[in-house]
Homo-oligomer: A and B are copies of this chain.
């Protein structure tokens, strides 16, 4: 082999913060703190303090590969952990505080976290869980002495005291770029959470995708509001990408209500905001309630929406009321998370608003680094024609090769693809659109019916508060759709009303065989509909026969 004669410099997370310290020293990190006030610092400050933290961890005996847990909101101290922990070669394990306490206990023990860093908001939770976390040697409250929680947490340490004792000189170690850098557990709907273990290489490559024009388009010109939490897939990679390009980062801390988010957007001249649909609904409510004028008061240009599909109405509201363009994105914990982003092509320049927004409801095009395909049940690759829908499979350098400690076994197929569990179409220009989850699709006589499309259609009925569609076994068609509905308060609604409403909205053979009315639908701790539970509830349901 003839080796190229290029410098052998590994892709390390420490290089990101070093770069920021050297070339974007004054770019700002603004945080609403768990203690309350707004805090302002710069990448140079984060760089300095993450070195103090690395020295402190070294003094505590933390070694390469050790896991360090966090239970924390978006803020500058969490960012220092992002760079200090991974930079020194340890593994940053961000824990989702919204999980059930038993899940958090399981995760911390499974990861064998050596130390747990937490925002003071979570002191009661930590107090309760501390005795159960078998490997944690000390619990570090991410605050100063003055704000230390009064609690019975054993081995309680004050973050500011921990790092104040240390020098801000630290030579980041140089090691193999495929070393583990961070860990995030997926909150599946069943079974124990499984850990996705990122590497320095995957994190740096993913950051390039975030900074690409056709990725999230983040640059030094942006003031970026990270509503997506740092405990959830690294806030979509933004802390790393921010350091890569020197974007101002605005961190909302625990205050995700519409008013707080709106005020941060206004006061920090936010140009791009990233988050899941739920938080944007709260923002819209606030804007309506106080009759605010976002177009006038904000500098918002782009909103990145992921985590769940952005509705047409949401895209329109951002466009019309905020003057902001929605970048619809798709990914998953197993993908670091960015997979696709919906950006325009030159041919869309002359699209009318209707066509354009229709395009925006798609999840978009693959960023280089993500290879994807759709297959049928037998693994046959289906065409990118915008019609065929199949199991969405992905591969690439920032996509998982397997879960931590081998949980779940071998997860890649012979071609190296990971099955996302989503069902999607891909059109000739590469635009991908999710049509359902594989386990939720209804297989009726060899054809697929999308439960999501049926649900969306049903949700258009003014009397329906929430709708879910599941497949129920059928002697002739194998499965047929059952629509389960929660009525709006006071609404009068019959099975036939609903089916008549759907009759001109979906194909005739998609019309559910029956409608069941319930008081409420089952959800997970993070708010996801639990279709598996729902299927259990209707396991013995008998559909009316023609």
Chain A positions near chain B (C-beta within 8 angstroms): 1-9, 11, 15-16, 18-19, 22-26, 64-65, 91, 175-176, 178-181, 196-202, 205, 207-209, 211-214, 217-221, 223, 244-246, 248, 269, 336, 343-346, 365-366, 368, 371, 384, 395-404, 412, 416, 418, 428-430
Contact = CB atoms under 8 A, between A and B. Distances in A.
B220 A180 contact: no
Nearest to A416: B7
Contacts of A9: 395-397, 416
A7 B397 contact: yes
User: Which of A2, A211, A404, A430: most chain B Cβ within 10 A?
Assistant: A2
A180 B1 CA distance: 8
Contacts of A365: 23, 220, 246
A523 B27 CA distance: 44
Given A175-B1, A221-B343, A365-B220, A8 B401 contact: yes
14 contacts: A1-B65, A4-B179, A4-B181, A4-B198, A7-B401, A23-B365, A208-B211, A211-B368, A212-B245, A214-B245, A214-B246, A220-B345, A221-B343, A245-B368
Nearest to A196: B5
A403 B5 contact: yes
A202 B6 contact: yes
A374 to B, nearest CB: 12
A192 to B, nearest CB: 17
Contacts of A244: 368
Contacts of A16: 368
B217 A3 contact: no
Contact of A346 (B3, B214, B223, B245): B223
Contacts of A19: 366, 368, 371
Contacts of A398: 6-7
B345 A221 contact: yes
Contacts of A26: 428-429
Contacts of A396: 7, 9
Contact of A2 (B64, B218, B366): B64
A213 B223 contact: no
A185 to B, nearest CB: 13
Contacts of A2: 64-65, 91, 179-180, 197
B397 A366 contact: no
Contact of A202 (B4, B23, B401, B404): B4
Given A245-B368, A343-B219, A346-B223, A11 B397 contact: yes
A246 to B, nearest CB: 8
A375 to B, nearest CB: 14
A346 B5 contact: no
A273 to B, nearest CB: 16
B346 A179 contact: no
A489 to B, nearest CB: 46
Contacts of A207: 368
A395 B18 CA distance: 13
Given A6-B197, A19-B368, 15 more contacts: A2-B65, A3-B178, A4-B202, A6-B198, A6-B398, A6-B399, A6-B400, A7-B395, A7-B399, A19-B366, A26-B428, A208-B368, A220-B343, A245-B368, A248-B346
A210 to B, nearest CB: 9
B430 A397 contact: no
A83 to B, nearest CB: 14
B430 A7 contact: no
B401 A6 contact: yes
Contacts of A246: 214, 345, 365, 430
B219 A4 contact: no
A335 to B, nearest CB: 10
A202 B209 CA distance: 16
A343 B247 CA distance: 13
B24 A430 contact: yes
Nearest to A10: B397
A13 to B, nearest CB: 11
Contacts of A368: 15-16, 19, 207-208, 211, 244-245
Contacts of A430: 22-25, 246
A344 B6 contact: no
A213 B202 contact: no
Contacts of A91: 2
A8 B199 CA distance: 11
B5 A197 contact: yes
A344 B384 CA distance: 39
Given A19-B371, A429-B26, A213 B208 contact: no
A5 B209 CA distance: 19
Nearest to A176: B1
